[in-house]
A and B are shown apart, each in its own frame.
Chain A
Amino acid sequence: MSPDNYLYLAAILFTIGTIGVMIRRNALVAFMSVELMLNAANLVMVAFALARGGLDGQVATFFVMVVAAAEVVVGLSIIITIYRTRRSTSVDAANLLKL
């Protein structure tokens, strides 16, 4: 099996995720884009695990999923705190620290 096509798909997903973080102003959407990037990495690992016949890559994706879940807990708690203070989750509204 050649992993090429999976790699292209993962690269596209990763790029969409990066662009999403860069240009979307809503913290929740930016955060969702980060999750997309993590899944792109998962896809690469699974594809290469299959191509090379090892299990490491597949096992690694489980670790990544657990980490992503933990990140959601921390991230949402921060975003909700900000939302309750400002009634907005726009990252542009958070500009007190700009010099």
Chain B
Amino acid sequence: MTITAPTFEWLQLSPVLVVLLAACVGILIEALVPRVWRFLAQVVLFELSILAAFMLLVLSWSQPRNSLGLMAMGAISLDGPSYLMWASLLVFGLLSLLVFAERDLGNGVTAFAASAASVPGSPAEAEATTARHEHTEVFPLALFSLAGMMVFVAANDLITAFIALEVMSLPLYLLSGMARRRRLLSQEAALKYFLLGALSSAFFLFGVALVYGFSGSFELGAINDAIANPVYGRGLLYTGMAFLAIGLLFKIGAVPFHNWVPDVYVGAPTPVTGFMAICTKLAAVGATVRVFYVALGAERWSWQPLLAVVAVLTMALGVVVALTQTDIKRLLAYSSISHAGFILVAVVGATAGAQGRVNSFGSIVFYLIAYGFATVAAFAIVTMVRDSTGEAHAISSWAGLGRKNPLLAGIFALLMLSFAGIPLTGGFIGKWAVFSAAWQGGYSWLVIAAVAASLVAAYVYLRVIVLMFFSEPVAGVAVGRASGLTWVPVALGAALSAYLGLFPGPLLDLVTSASTFLR
């Protein structure tokens, strides 16, 4: 008997491999490099590896042949959507990791605990703080998470998706518990995120098992075929589909599975919140769309109405609760929930798109990219506004920021306008694309609800702008002196939010041309 060796497409899969390898090297750096050099080594490593991964991605995508197809024995589906998602994950991963490395704001140390294992307020913690220790493990952890996200969006079978989901989530649970200040909140956020996250992955796995039972295969394409010729009753499929949806919607942060979002976003260190807000959302949305379009596309008539209800609830709750928030991170958390709702509007539309018009997936990617640049910059700015105890999170303490630092307040105002979807910002084009995709899919009532929700949302963001520019400045709150590591994401995020609003054409063409799923 001969055993054929599995084939593995090294070049095509190299972006993921480089990130994974860099994460492993990061662990070795922790073990072997002296403490004084670790920080520098980790920062250089993540910057170089993500840039290298991005170049390899461009190289493999621009190959005339073999750039698309099923890779790694059918475990990874490398199609236009995978490439788009990988490229955006790498860009946003790099930008948010730069904020991880900021030291100038915290008197020469990062925003992460000196020793996460020490009890808050104990002599051990004081000792580690005095010795100016830093957890540089955060960089390999984030890289592992990033690699998990990249596999998650491209997974062509449900078991690969489950493993990738865990590789993406486990480091995030740890990262959210490592804040230097307000450590009790941070630890509590980690516990909540972990318990609810583990619960949701159990739901996802049970869904995987039931769908496997129905179709006899984990592969997305084979599941789609099995729906046409079922062996068992449909009940198995519908139950499995519901469980899969619960697991995925939890990661997206959709109502009614959104409870963890505000708590974790507030408790986690702000750089980690920024990373989660954009990269986790990208990965979760990408995987959801792939599972629902490729594997369950034949059953779309049964999941579209349900997802439409979830989308309406998510938008409504996100914007209404955001109206009453007094904490800027909590406000951004509820804003991220409402954005999840707007994205779901396009997922429900599920339109292939007429020739030359944006289809559902293209509009979702555009929305995510526009939202991502605004989010990365917004959370970087949250790390810069500080009082004597650290970051100033109360919205009231942001009053009068426009007089203290007109540049930063102006940038934040621009980002808020992009979140609100005001014309001439990337957010507006994103919303327009998403709504038109749902409209083409025949969900006009959903679009009307979404427009109403975005009007209310505009009030939420305008309130912050008015507070920053037309209120008396609060004493004791100042904008910290940040290094380029924070300013690069802020400047790039703001510039691209404006650019995507003024010249959306090139990106719209790219996402439209590369949005066909491989089956």
Chain A residues contacting B117 (CB-CB under 8 Å) are 81
**Among residues 1 to 52 in chain A, which have CB atoms less than 8 Å away from a CB atom of chain B?**
3, 7, 10, 14, 17-18, 21, 27, 30-31, 34, 37-38, 40-42, 44-45, 47-48, 51-52
Query: With A and B bound together, what is the CA distance between A70 and B173 in angstroms?
Result: 12
Contact between chains at B174 and A78 (CB < 8 Å) = yes
Q: For B117, B187, B202, B266, which residue has the most chain A Cβ atoms within 10 angstroms?
A: B202
Instruction: Choose one: B119, B218, B262; the contact of A60 (CB below 8 Å).
Output: B218
Given contacts A63-B162, A67-B163, contact A56 B218 (CB under 8 A): yes
Chain B residues contacting A54 (CB-CB under 8 Å) are 216-217
Distance to closest chain A CB from B209 (angstroms): 4
Which of B41-49, B190-198, B303-311 contacts the other chain? B190-198
Which chain B residue lies CB-closest to A34? B198
Distance to closest chain B CB from A70 (angstroms): 6
Query: With A and B bound together, what is the CA distance between A42 and B170 in angstroms?
Result: 20
Which chain B residue lies CB-closest to A66? B163
Which chain B residue lies CB-closest to A75? B194
Size bracket of the B interface: 35 or more
Contact between chains at B267 and A14 (CB < 8 Å) = no
Contact between chains at B162 and A75 (CB < 8 Å) = no
Contact between chains at A78 and B177 (CB < 8 Å) = yes
Chain B residues contacting A44 (CB-CB under 8 Å) are 206, 209-210, 212-213
Contact between chains at B212 and A60 (CB < 8 Å) = yes
Given contacts A78-B177, A82-B191, contact A3 B213 (CB under 8 A): yes
Instruction: Choose one: A48, A71, A82; the contact of B198 (CB below 8 Å).
Output: A71
Which chain B residue lies CB-closest to A70? B170
Chain A residues contacting B120 (CB-CB under 8 Å) are 85
Contact between chains at A63 and B159 (CB < 8 Å) = yes
Query: With A and B bound together, what is the CA distance between A84 and B120 in angstroms?
Result: 9
Contact between chains at B209 and A45 (CB < 8 Å) = yes
Query: With A and B bound together, what is the CA distance between A37 and B272 in angstroms?
Result: 29
Interface flags for A55-81 (1: CB within 8 Å of B; 0: not) read 011001001100100110011011101
Contact between chains at A97 and B199 (CB < 8 Å) = no
Chain B residues contacting A64 (CB-CB under 8 Å) are 162, 205
Instruction: Choose one: A27, A42, A84, A97; the contact of B119 (CB below 8 Å).
Output: A84
Which chain A residue lies CB-closest to B210? A44
Query: With A and B bound together, what is the CA distance between A52 and B218 in angstroms?
Result: 13
Contact between chains at B202 and A41 (CB < 8 Å) = yes
Chain A residues contacting B116 (CB-CB under 8 Å) are 81
Instruction: Choose one: A10, A31, A56, A70; the contact of B166 (CB below 8 Å).
Output: A70
Distance to closest chain A CB from B316 (angstroms): 18
Instruction: Choose one: B162, B170, B191, B202; the contact of A94 (CB below 8 Å).
Output: B191
Chain A residues contacting B194 (CB-CB under 8 Å) are 74-75, 78
Contact between chains at A37 and B162 (CB < 8 Å) = no
Distance to closest chain A CB from B155 (angstroms): 12
B184: interface (CB < 8 Å): yes
Query: With A and B bound together, what is the CA distance between A77 and B367 in angstroms?
Result: 37
Query: With A and B bound together, what is the CA distance between A50 and B114 in angstroms?
Result: 51
Chain B residues contacting A47 (CB-CB under 8 Å) are 213
Interface flags for B142-174 (1: CB within 8 Å of A; 0: not) read 000000000000000001001100100010011
Interface flags for A84-99 (1: CB within 8 Å of B; 0: not) read 1100000100101101
Given contacts A48-B213, A48-B216, A57-B212, contact A97 B195 (CB under 8 A): no
B102: interface (CB < 8 Å): no
B278: interface (CB < 8 Å): no
Interface flags for B247-290 (1: CB within 8 Å of A; 0: not) read 00000000000000011001100000000000000000000000
Distance to closest chain A CB from B163 (angstroms): 6
Query: With A and B bound together, what is the CA distance between A98 and B205 in angstroms?
Result: 29
Chain A residues contacting B208 (CB-CB under 8 Å) are 41, 45, 60
Given contacts A54-B216, A91-B195, contact A48 B187 (CB under 8 A): no
Instruction: Choose one: B173, B188, B206; the contact of A14 (CB below 8 Å).
Output: B206
Query: With A and B bound together, what is the CA distance between A71 and B155 in angstroms?
Result: 21
**Among residues 113 to 130 in chain B, which have CB atoms less than 8 Å away from a CB atom of chain A?**
116-117, 119-120
Given contacts A40-B206, A81-B177, A85-B184, contact A45 B212 (CB under 8 A): yes
Chain B residues contacting A21 (CB-CB under 8 Å) are 195, 199
Contact between chains at A41 and B173 (CB < 8 Å) = no
Q: Can you identify 10 A-B contacts, CB atoms within 8 angstroms?
A: A31-B195, A31-B198, A34-B199, A40-B206, A56-B218, A60-B208, A67-B162, A75-B198, A81-B116, A97-B185
In the complex, the 4 A-B pairs of residues with the closest C-beta atoms, listed nearest first: A37-B202, A44-B209, A48-B213, A97-B263
